[in-house]
Structure 1
Amino acid sequence: MGMLNQAVQLAIMVGTIRTLSWPSPNVSGNANTAERAVHRQIGSDFDYLMLTRIFPTAVCRADDDSVPDSCEIPTDTPDWSIHGLWPNFKNGSYPQFCDGSPRKFDSDLIKSIEGRLLKMWPNLYPAKTAHSFWKHEWEKHGTCSQNHKNLSSELLYFRTTMAIDTEYSVGSALKRAGIIPRSEPYHLEDIRDGLMKELSNGMHVQLNCLTDKKTKEILLGDVRMCIDKSFQPIDCPRSNAFQPATYITGPSAPLPSFKECPPLVTYLLETSTEPSHMLGLGHREFAYWINPLIPFYTGYFSQQKLKHELLWG
């Protein structure tokens, strides 16, 4: 294996890590019993892995913040956080809910890395514990990766995912490519080209988007990189065999729906130094509320100026 894989393995062994698809339908009910049985039998024979990172700012802007327990970004969350590491088959399908050891998520097994997980792999919904997100990822995806020696236990699955995320940092790659958050939209292919150059060694990456709940802007929402079993980048499928939808972290509402990106997308500004922040509003919210009022106030002050000129000459 290459030097990069050795570096990842070293990070896994010594624990010195510096440090949301192929979304699929929920599997429940008798109708899916046979399907789940097949998945349990073949789940460990995956062909490659897909590492998906989400942009928390976009996720929360796509959420309905008018309801209780809406999306919140925990303190110290990086610009890009982990959604999951997912085994996939070359034919476009994917294993899920495989026989595992343990089959059910056990939070005690990851106590030693929980602090790093809370930062790098947070749950963005305050009503749900971080464990509920990790439980979903382990039981649906992690159990299907256990034939790989560096993913063969619950602890190794989460530790290895964080190590790979650190080695292939989306945020750092975007900065090196000159792709920074801004108000003007980017051409989608400029973002993809930058990531292929700075993140995936020229291999194709998948990009998916979200819609801002208030402004209706199309936001860059996630980046999906495919890697082989030596953790080296490979081409992701050129089109999404399964359109991005949602994943469930518990019985309440899922994350907003990801979708295929259009040619122009916004890499959303997280903060703004504009005066509108003094009102507790970002520049987009300020524009959203003030723009419809501009014609009214322009007309009003024009009328006042005319009255002044008529009265006083």
Structure 2
Amino acid sequence: MMQPSIMLLLLLLPLLFSAPSTSTARDFDFFYFVLQWPGSFCDTKKSCCYPATGKPTADFSIHGLWPNYADGSYPSNCDRKTPYDSSQIADLTESLRSQWPSLACSGGGESTFWKHEWEKHGTCSESVLDQHAYFGAALRLRNRINLLQSLQDAGIKPDGGSYSLTDISSAIRNGTGFEPKLECNADEGGNQQLYQVSVCVDAKGERLIECPVSTTSNCPSRVEFPPF
């Protein structure tokens, strides 16, 4: 007579092999909307390469719209069955080139950048945003947020000067109404510079919210704001 443990295994095998090969994220809690300063991206040992359309505007550009959980973790690469399809965002391409350019020198250009962002982050938001809606939401948020103007209104300009991190944070909060998360990187000389600004967005990708997680920065108390 077959042992119960073996019988149970035989019953479970069809279920195991029929399980989907891709992971599906549980419902996320909010988005990070991440904007980067091109001057800081380029002003590093790695440097940068301009897209085929030429040097982007000297303004903050989109890095991504990233689903996150309130416990500080995040999902990624959630569904290989919905790969990036450029034809789905053909009507957004011109705006994406302006607001979401690629400065990487690794080849592939903007399409590779958008493909990476959709497949790593966008596929984890499919419960509320399909591919077109995902990129459209990011563009609408970018048009609503003018970080550079908020900083310049506070006398903080991309002139290579050193500025207080507290002043930078306060200027962005005054401009957006919400506390930002700031990220720095190092220039060729090792000096810390303002690189990325993240603001939190509700799980529908529509409105800014206070971040449900810590906005602790990796920046020192004073940072450079390089030109581009």
Q: In the alignment, which residue of structure 1 is the partner of 2:14?
A: none
Shift of residue 197, structure 1, vs aligned partner:
1.0
Does residue 165 of the first structure (1) align with residue 139 of the second (2)?
no
Larger relative helix fraction: 1
Q: Give the superposed CA RMSD.
A: 2.2
Q: In the alignment, which residue of structure 2 is the partner of 1:220?
A: 194
Does residue 87 of the first structure (1) align with residue 67 of the second (2)?
yes
Shift of residue 38, structure 1, vs aligned partner:
10
Larger radius of gyration: 1
Is the CA contact (8 Å cut-off) linking 1:177 and 1:195 kept in structure 2? Answer: no
Does residue 124 of the first structure (1) align with residue 100 of the second (2)?
no
Percent identity, aligned pairs only? 32
2 CA distance for matches of 1:78 and 1:155?
26
2 CA distance for matches of 1:78 and 1:103?
34
Partner SS, residue 95 of structure 1 = coil
Shift of residue 179, structure 1, vs aligned partner:
1.9
In structure 2, the CA distance between the partners of 1:39 and 1:166, relative to structure 1 (3 Å rule), is: farther
**Structure 2: any 5+ residue segments left out of the alignment?**
1-19
- TM-score w.r.t. the length of structure 1 is 0.60
Bigger relative CO (Cα 8 Å, ≥ 6 apart): 2
Q: Which amino acid aligns with 1:224?
A: S
1 CA distance for matches of 2:119 and 2:84?
6
Partner SS, residue 182 of structure 2 = strand
Q: In the alignment, which residue of structure 1 is the partner of 2:23?
A: 40
1:46-73 Cα shifts (integer Å, max 9, x gaps): 10111000001111111434xxxx4337
- TM-score w.r.t. the length of structure 2 is 0.81
**Structure 1: any 5+ residue segments left out of the alignment?**
1-36, 241-258, 271-313
Matching residue within 49, 61, 68 for 1:71 = 49
Q: In the alignment, which residue of structure 2 is the partner of 1:283?
A: none
Partner SS, residue 127 of structure 2 = coil
Is the CA contact (8 Å cut-off) linking 1:50 and 1:85 kept in structure 2? Answer: yes
Stretches of 4+ aligned residues off by more than 4 angstroms: none
Equivalences, count = 204
Partner SS, residue 115 of structure 2 = helix
1:247-300 Cα shifts (integer Å, max 9, x gaps): xxxxxxxxxxxx811111011133xxxxxxxxxxxxxxxxxxxxxxxxxxxxxx
Q: In the alignment, which residue of structure 2 is the partner of 1:238?
A: 214
Larger relative strand fraction: 2
